[in-house]
Chain A
Amino acid sequence: MQGDMAITSRSSLLGKDAAYWGMVLLPAVFLATLYLVPVISVMVRSVTEPTLGLDNYAVILENKAIQNVLGKTVYICAVTTALTLLFGYATAYAMCRMPEREQRLMFFLVILSFWISVLIRTFAWIAVLQPQGLLNDILIGIGIIDRPLRLVRNDLGVIIGMVHYMLPYAILPLFANMKTIDPTLVPAARALGATPRKAFMTVFLPLSLPGLAGASILVLIFSSGFYITPALLGGGKVVMIAEYISVQMSETLKWGLATSLATVLMLVVLALTIAMSRYMDIGDTGKKA
């Protein structure tokens, strides 16, 4: 009798499992055919085109122009990530301390920027930042400067546009993480003798590291693949890796070089993800269940 029951419950468990596997089957097939296959074909092309071997990778290591593009990409990504995390952290921190109503409004405002396409936003930034643009007009108008500042068609313009685009991607994971930090911990640290600064450095900051790791990985990965923003706000002077790859594909038709650069980019992102994910799951942040 007992044995029968055990068997019944086990088989129903198996049935449930099968149902769950069924649910992931469709997305799995979809991803495999439309995502995994192309990625593998990119990797294969990088070592077969135009001839079999690692020639393309040798070019990457030797070619000065490519190294400049890679260097620029690393530089822009690093500055963008650092600024985005700084502003995102401050915003998320402030949001955590707001009353419920204001918090919801802020949340809405952060999400709002997702509604506007990156192309429109980029052109808007050009309108704001160009020499005869809104910002320069205002600054000259109130007499702070007498000649327009060069705010666009350079690194600065690209970074402004990218930070603006990436901010919600930093704010949301940071905010989600900070909400899980027990709000009595900082007052407790104060009561135990810590100044506000020290309480933040020794308690709040360490506990927000998982959110910071999550946000930084998201921003870094996204920004390494930026294409439209640097192309438009850089005015052709700031070439990042994604744009360079695109040029190799569609204009110079060096598919082998393009795919090998794409492979390098992918491996770097993968390595970063693995490295950062170690910090993302330190678990309990002190919130009561």
Chain B
Amino acid sequence: MKDALSFESVTKKYGEFTALDNVSLDIKAGEFMTLLGPSGSGKTTMLMTIGGFVEPSAGHVTLDGQRITHLPPENRNFGLVFQGYALFPHLTVWENVFYPLRVRGMRKAEAEPKVRDVLDLIQLSHLAERFPKQLSGGQQQRVALARALVFSPELLLLDEPLSALDRALRKDLQRELKDLHERVGTTFIYVTHDQEEALSMSDRIAILRDGQIEQLGTPSQLYEKPSSIFVANFLGKSNFVPVDDLTVEGGEVRYSVGQDRFRLSRGDMSIPQSGELSLALRPERLTLYANHKDAPENCIAGKVVKVTYFGQLYEAIVSTQAAGDLLVTVDLAQNEPRIGDQVWLGWAIDSGVILAGRPVESDDAYAG
């Protein structure tokens, strides 16, 4: 697949503050690329640089190999959906969707079939004569999408488009957006701080932190093989266990936590070997066993100290001697864990990732 849009060592400074720090990224034609990060990480600056509203201090943005770094927004032919939708309140739904065609010099009669088509696509043809304030949040969102798609843009840029909606509606619209992406085939560049949204919709995710790309990959790559404690913490929940000693022997890693020794099959992971190390273990990769003989080779003894019921699963906190408190999810097919149970926590030898550093207190996924 060819690259649609590329960042070439883009830096953006606002006075002393560096919003983007030497960022390079290639976005493929037709892909759903998500820029994910906490607020202030540079994701919106990145999107606005693509949109033409922010001029980089250094570096270039290219589209199909052409430099567009200094091209004004109106000459880029990109659709942009703002966080608050930015629908024109003095225009009807129809006129809002017609707007991009109108500024391109198209007459109403000429534009009518195009506007119809895209309103049909989002199933809002029956509300064409309404004004934006007469629509629900979800409907406004869909009008904003229609307006950004009607002129067949080369890219669709979306700036946290679902953040103003309630949870149930957000789920529906996530599915609709994903579906829309498949149908129109346009490259989507999506900015969000919601990790769940990013995981469920994206082809690839770039995780941003302090103006740099911390990790780039498919959702499962990022979730299963995070390259840093920051990523492991930002995507989903994770336990971090301090690793005391570590040796690599071919395809196998041996590590110890306190007195206990464990094994990890290395796969294609790069293992940091110096400095402080942590083992990142997802709660769903841990299994509770009543007896030691049932538990796998990697296991650790502990006591259940807290159980929370979530409908589709339980979350239990198990206190261990060597590894501290560990969060574990227990599905309903297993026995309900009870506070005070003496248990064994086991994990497979291909579970867990060795990462450099130790989590800082506030990064603790399940604390607080």
Are A and B bound to each other?
yes
Docked complex Cα distance between A181 and B205 (Å): 34
> By the criterion CB–CB under 8 Å, are B151 and A193 in contact?
yes
Contacts of A193 in B (CB 8 A): 74, 77, 100, 103-104, 151
Contacts of A285 in B (CB 8 A): 89
> By the criterion CB–CB under 8 Å, are B90 and A192 in contact?
no
Docked complex Cα distance between A128 and B290 (Å): 96
Docked complex Cα distance between A284 and B103 (Å): 23
Residue A25 at the chain B interface, CB threshold 8 Å: no
Report how many A-B pairs have Cβ atoms within 8 Å.
78
Nearest-CB residue, chain B, relative to A194: B103
Contacts of A282 in B (CB 8 A): 90
> By the criterion CB–CB under 8 Å, are A192 and B53 in contact?
no
Residue in contact with A284 in the complex, picked from B82, B84, B89, CB distance below 8 Å: B89
CB within 8 Å of B: which A256-289 residues: 282-286, 288
Docked complex Cα distance between A182 and B86 (Å): 7
Nearest-CB residue, chain A, relative to B101: A193
Contacts of B131 in A (CB 8 A): 284
Residue B73 at the chain A interface, CB threshold 8 Å: yes
> By the criterion CB–CB under 8 Å, are A207 and B84 in contact?
no
Residue in contact with B87 in the complex, picked from A187, A199, A202, A286, CB distance below 8 Å: A286
> By the criterion CB–CB under 8 Å, are A286 and B88 in contact?
yes
Docked complex Cα distance between A82 and B72 (Å): 33
Q: How close is B56's CB to chain A, nearest CB, in angstroms?
A: 18
> By the criterion CB–CB under 8 Å, are A207 and B82 in contact?
no
Contacts of B51 in A (CB 8 A): 191
Nearest-CB residue, chain B, relative to A287: B89
Residue in contact with A194 in the complex, picked from B52, B74, B84, CB distance below 8 Å: B74
Residue A198 at the chain B interface, CB threshold 8 Å: yes
> By the criterion CB–CB under 8 Å, are A198 and B103 in contact?
yes
Contacts of B76 in A (CB 8 A): 191
Docked complex Cα distance between A194 and B51 (Å): 13
Docked complex Cα distance between A185 and B83 (Å): 11
Q: How close is B147's CB to chain A, nearest CB, in angstroms?
A: 7
Known: A192-B147, A193-B103. A185 touches B74 (CB 8 A): no
CB within 8 Å of B: which A188-204 residues: 188-195, 198-199, 202-203
Interface centre among A190, A194, A195, A284 (most CB of B within 10 A): A190
CB within 8 Å of A: which B60-90 residues: 72-74, 76-80, 82-84, 86-90
- Give the interface of B toward A (CB within 8 A): 51-53, 72-74, 76-80, 82-84, 86-90, 99-100, 102-104, 131-133, 147-148, 151, 157
A-B contact pairs, 16 of them (CB 8 A): A182-B84, A182-B86, A187-B53, A188-B82, A188-B86, A189-B103, A190-B72, A191-B52, A191-B53, A191-B79, A193-B77, A193-B100, A198-B103, A203-B88, A207-B89, A286-B132
